Amino acid sequence: MPKPLSFEGLHKTCRDTSKPYLHTKDVHRTEVPDEKVPWSASFPDYKPKDYTDPKSKGKDWADPDIDDSDFHPKWNSIDGKIDRKSHIGEYDIVDGRPQNPLGRTGLKGRGTLGKWGPNHAADPIVTRWKRDDNDKKVTSEASGKPILQFVAILRGDVKQWAIPGGMVDPGEAVSATLRREFSEEAANSIKKTPEQRKELEKSIETLFQHGTEVYKGYVDDPRNTDNSWMETVAVNFHDENDSTVGGLELEAGDDASDVHWKDIASEMELYASHVSMLKTVGELHNAHW
């Protein structure tokens, strides 16, 4: 089995200064040169904007303002139902705020994320082999290896293809998030009749019994700030013989606006760090990349 990848190098997506911060017109990140990303590098002129999406304030999924006198978060711990632990170790609290463990991003505050510190997501990578009309595996001419396909959704927010992942709800087990997000986004379970939903749940239940974790850690997500960041657990569920969801009718739902089985190949362009997660999945099955 290939080594699960870890986030290496510098974050790039969450330092992008070419466009304003998500859902804003005039919130710009401060430019952070590569060598100034680590907090250990001296950067006395670093005075990034402090931005927390006003629309998130008071929402049940969002933390209060950091200096709210009634807000007493237990950093680096399970805080009631909220998991404030990072997958990558203890993070520092500087001037009362959690500090992005991967360094500077050019923006302070909570941005559009819900939690100060780590925000946890889960990504189900559902795969099958690409087959021809005679059910034979299709092989790539370039690599001579069979082509793997995964269930991809078109994210409604950023209009980019992605793994149908989502946020772990407070108190929810990651295994439940993986199943729920896949059912909601790729099989539109919310809109199914109770009978259809039962059938669907049976297929998903069977497939999701055996998963292989391919990534656990920090994600270079466009929403990240100096004080709030995304982390995920990505798990591969492989349907070797099309016996569970391999033959399932996909239907986009919830936050997804389209869904299909996408060939896994190095030239794919996907959301956040999803390409590197799929590379690990390709290696795991010795598939074309």
Min dist. Cβ of residue 8 to ligand BGC (A) = 16
Closest residue to ligand BGC, judged by C-beta, is 165
Q: By CB under 6 A, how many residues form the interface with ligand BGC?
A: 12
Q: Name the one range near ligand BGC by CB under 6 A: 65-73, 99-107, 138-146, 165-173.
A: 165-173
The answer to the question of residue 105 lying near ligand BGC (CB under 6 A) is: no
Q: Name the one range near ligand BGC by CB under 6 A: 32-40, 65-73, 157-165, 236-244.
A: 157-165
**Nearest in space to 264 (alpha carbons), one of 245, 244, 283:** 283
Q: Name the one range near ligand BGC by CB under 6 A: 68-76, 103-111, 162-170, 280-288.
A: 162-170
- Residue 33's CB: how many other CB atoms inside 10 A? 10
Alpha helices in the chain (DSSP H): 174-186, 194-207, 274-284
Residue number with CB closer to ligand BGC (32 or 230) = 230
The answer to the question of residue 162 lying near ligand BGC (CB under 6 A) is: yes
The answer to the question of residue 121 lying near ligand BGC (CB under 6 A) is: yes
Q: What is the rounded CA–CA span in Å between residue 52 and residue 110? A: 5
Residues 6+ apart with CB under 8 A from 2: 280, 283, 284
**Nearest in space to 204 (alpha carbons), one of 244, 169, 235:** 244
Dihedral, CA of residue 148, residue 241, residue 181 and residue 149, to nearest 10: 10
Binding ligand BGC by CB under 6 A: which of 272, 278, 281, 287?
272
The answer to the question of residue 148 lying near ligand BGC (CB under 6 A) is: no
Binding ligand BGC by CB under 6 A: which of 63, 123, 226, 239?
123
The answer to the question of residue 252 lying near ligand BGC (CB under 6 A) is: no
Residue number with CB closer to ligand BGC (187 or 230) = 230
Tokens of 197: 């939903």
- Residue 278's CB: how many other CB atoms inside 10 A? 28
- Residue 133's CB: how many other CB atoms inside 10 A? 5
Place of tokens 């290496």: 8
Name the site residues for ligand BGC (rule: CB under 6 A): 121, 123, 162-163, 165-167, 219, 221, 230, 232, 272
